[in-house]
Amino acid sequence: MGRPNQCNPCCGNSGSGGSGGSVEPPISDCEKVICVAFIDENGGPIGGSFGGSLGGRYFQERMVIWKLAYPERFLFVLDVSTSYNTMYYPEAFKSYSPRAFSLRREFDGSPTGLIRHIQRDNGSTAIANSNNPWQRIKTIVNRQSENILQAFNSSREVAISIDNSGSMTAGQVAATVEKLKQDAINDQKIITQTIINEHEDVVCPFVRSGCDTGHYSQQLLSICSANQGHGGEGVMA
């Protein structure tokens, strides 16, 4: 796609450092990847539409195309605690269920085994263990139909995006991210690049890639590029 590899969470830079200095490989099955986003807020609605941030403003538009481009992907938003605004979810996100989930929304529907927000660990292993992000994801999936559970179990690769937009920093959940990675690896998953996202967005970090699955993925890539440009993405070593 003519972009540097570090902008490609899907098929990107295989030389980037991963957890513990290891190399996080590119995704080999772009359609079935499990996408996990850590984010605290996306600006909130302005004038009845999503605004305040680029991610919030275009969330509905992006999710409509995402559903067509990647019908087999999973998208988990792990809502991070915040004292600012909150995460607003458009109808297209809600209707993507049972493939798109918000930790906060799932907790509000059935709190057993879940927490409403991921707490900022700031390097604390104890808080990371309490957050237990991979187990929270599995708890959500285990409540779905057998077909969804089987699809999740058969998906081998996990891509991660972390908001780093001002209201939170990637380092504030770094220990929790490492906890998720290790637990996912223990479940025989492969961790791909961890993307630092500065646009309060949970869609575009996972589609700025060389994974061309057809017309809709190209359309989504074009929308993401037009709405937020190339800057603001990085790979977390």
Q: Which residue has the higher pLDDT, 91 or 47?
A: 91
Give residue 96's pLDDT band: very low, low, confident or very high (50, 70, 90): confident
Domain spans in the chain, listed from the N-terminal domain onward: 27-235
Q: How many CB atoms lie within 10 A of CB 25?
A: 15
pLDDT for 227 equals 62
The structure's pTM equals: 0.85
Average pLDDT, the chain: 82
pLDDT for 210 equals 65
pLDDT digit string (tens) for 13-39? Answer: 322 333 333 456 666 788 899 999 999
Q: Which of 172, 95, 108, 171 is nearest to 140 (CA)?
A: 108
